[in-house]
Amino acid sequence: MKPTAFEYHRPDTLERALSLLAQFGDDGRPIAGGQSLVPMMNLRLARPLHLVDINGLALCDIDQQDNVVRIGALVRHETHLRDPLIARHFPALVEGVRAIGHPTIRRNGTLGGSLAHCDPTAELPLLCMLHDGAIVVASSNGERRIAATDFFEGAYMTALEAGEMIVAAELPVPGGAHAGAFEEMAERKGDFAIAAAGVVLGHENGRITGAKVACSGAAQAPMRARPVEQALNGADLASPGAAAVIAGFLETMDPPGDHAASAPYRRALIGELIDRAMTKACRRALEAS
Ligand SMILES: Cc1cc2nc3c(=O)[nH]c(=O)nc-3n(C[C@H](O)[C@H](O)[C@H](O)COP(=O)(O)OP(=O)(O)OC[C@H]3O[C@@H](n4cnc5c(N)ncnc54)[C@H](O)[C@@H]3O)c2cc1C
């Protein structure tokens, strides 16, 4: 199928892009990598009257200001894989981005596009939430920051309002020694995950000093596994032993069942992925100590 008719706009400044988005309201859509929007338009699941191509905007940088790494909305997925700041501070993010789609998708798809599209098992929403990230959104009225835990509201639903666009994500730099890991399961390599889990551990003298755990597949948006995080605080890296808490956390879930996985399978899979990511992060922490 072909998309419905639309007008194409290519602003070269953020101000102009925001003014166009304000003017078009719900009839306008930013387009970045086009890896999700173009298929949706071809299937007529999206019918924007105005496409605002944001690829000419200066939103491609990754830089650190004080203790925050700011990643521009137009940073392509594959750019995360070779950036030294991301490699140093967010190893779980590198591992997660490597699992996104295929080389062409990673070459074209952007951070902002993935966060705005908000597929329930997309890697970048989970990874932003895992790292206590904030999404920076702009409109003709100014800028606001939304915690990742508040931004992803459901499948393909975010806190973005008409006339707003994502300009960056900000991730706080973890202090002290830390290790991370990401695990996911998909039907075939390159497919969207059935479920995924990420873990970041701060550590000192063989003990976990702070844990972050996030997973997807359990609900329409990624979530933090707070009870598991609490159980890991102070645990021995050599035997973190959170099995009972993970099992209790899984009991609170009501994951969807579909052609790829039944609800009970998905619940068990999330537990397994959290365990694998936790074990891998602990091993990495011990190797680095
Ligand atoms: C075959 C295939 C496999 C894939 N596999 C995976 C996978 O395994 N994991 C995964 O996470 N993704 C996967 N994707 C999706 C891919 O990651 C997309 O690149 C991503 O979801 C959207 O990024 P984009 O830049 O292409 O956005 P676009 O397609 O340009 O836009 C997507 C949506 O975001 C909006 N948008 C874009 N940029 C902004 C912005 N800055 N501010 C506000 N709204 C914005 C658009 O209006 C649109 O609604 C796959 C895609 C394909 C085609």
Domain ranges of the chain: 7-53, 62-172, 178-288
Q: Which atom of ligand 1 lies nearest, measured to the CA of 124?
A: 11
The residues, ordered by sequence, that sit 6+ positions from 87 with a Cβ below 8 Å of its Cβ are: 94
| Euclidean distance between CA atoms 236 and 196, whole angstroms | 24
- Ligand 1 centroid–CA 241 distance in Å is 37
Residue nearest to atom 2 of ligand 1 (CA): 101
Q: How far apart are CA 267 and CA 130, in angstroms?
A: 19
Which residues approach ligand 1 with their CB closer than 6 A?
Answer: 29-37, 39, 54, 73, 100-101, 105, 108-110, 112-114, 116-117, 119, 122-124, 160, 165-166, 192
Q: Which CATH class is domain 62-172?
A: alpha beta
Residue type at position 199: V
Q: Which residues pair with 213 in a beta bridge?
A: 199
Domains 62-172 and 178-288 share a fold: no
Q: Using the 8-state DSSP alphabet, how is residue 110 labeled?
A: B
The closest-lying atom of ligand 1 relative to the alpha carbon of residue 38 is 29
At residue 256, the pLDDT reads: 87
Which of 165, 156, 149 lies closest to 118 in space, CA to CA?
A: 156
- For domain 7-53, which architecture applies? 2-Layer Sandwich (3.30)
φ, ψ (nearest 5 deg) of residue 194: -75, -40
Residue 106 · residue 77 · CB < 8 Å: yes
Whole-number Å distance, alpha carbon 200 to ligand 1 midpoint, is: 25
- In angstroms, the CA 246 to CA 82 distance is 33
Burial class (CB in 10 A: 0-12, 13-18, 19+), 43: exposed
The rounded Å distance from CA 42 to ligand 1 centre is 14
Alpha helices, DSSP H, located in 109-225: 111-117, 123-130, 148-151
pLDDT by residue, tens only, the chain of 289 residues: 789 999 999 999 999 999 999 999 999 999 999 999 999 999 999 999 999 999 999 999 999 999 999 999 999 999 999 999 999 999 999 999 999 999 999 999 999 999 999 999 999 999 999 999 999 999 999 999 999 999 999 999 999 999 999 999 999 999 899 999 999 999 998 899 999 999 999 999 999 999 999 999 998 999 999 999 999 999 999 999 889 999 999 999 989 888 889 999 999 999 999 999 999 999 999 998 8
pTM, entire model? 0.96
CA distance 81 to 131: 16
The residue whose CA has the least distance to atom 13 of ligand 1 is 101
**Which H/E stretch holds residue 223?**
strand 223-224
Query: For 255, which DSSP code?
Result: -
| Strand, coil or helix: 129 | helix
> How many CA atoms are closer than 13 Å to the CA of 34, on its beta-carbon side?
10
Which amino acid does the sequence have at 289? S
Pairing type for strands 207-216 and 193-204 reads antiparallel
Q: At what angle do helices 123-130 and 91-98 cross, to 10 degrees?
A: 170
Which one of 105, 124, 164 would you pick to mutate in the ligand 1 pocket, going by the greatest count of ligand atoms within 8 A of its CB? 105
Q: Report how far ligand 1's centroid is from the alpha carbon of 279 (Å).
A: 31
Do strands 28-31 and 50-53 pair parallel, antiparallel, or not at all (unpaired)? parallel
76 DSSP assignment? B
Dist. CA 190 → ligand 1 center (Å): 14
Nearest-CA neighbor of 137 among 171, 170, 108, 90?
170
What's the CA-to-centroid distance between 110 and ligand 1, angstroms?
7
The residue whose C-alpha atom lies closest to atom 11 belonging to ligand 1 is 122
> Could you tell me which of 74, 71, 222, 250 has the C-alpha nearest to residue 157?
222
The topology under which CATH files domain 178-288 is Enolase-like; domain 1 (3.30.390)
Please state whether 133 falls in left (phi above 0), alpha (psi between -120 and 50) or beta. Answer: beta
Q: How many residues does the chain have?
A: 289
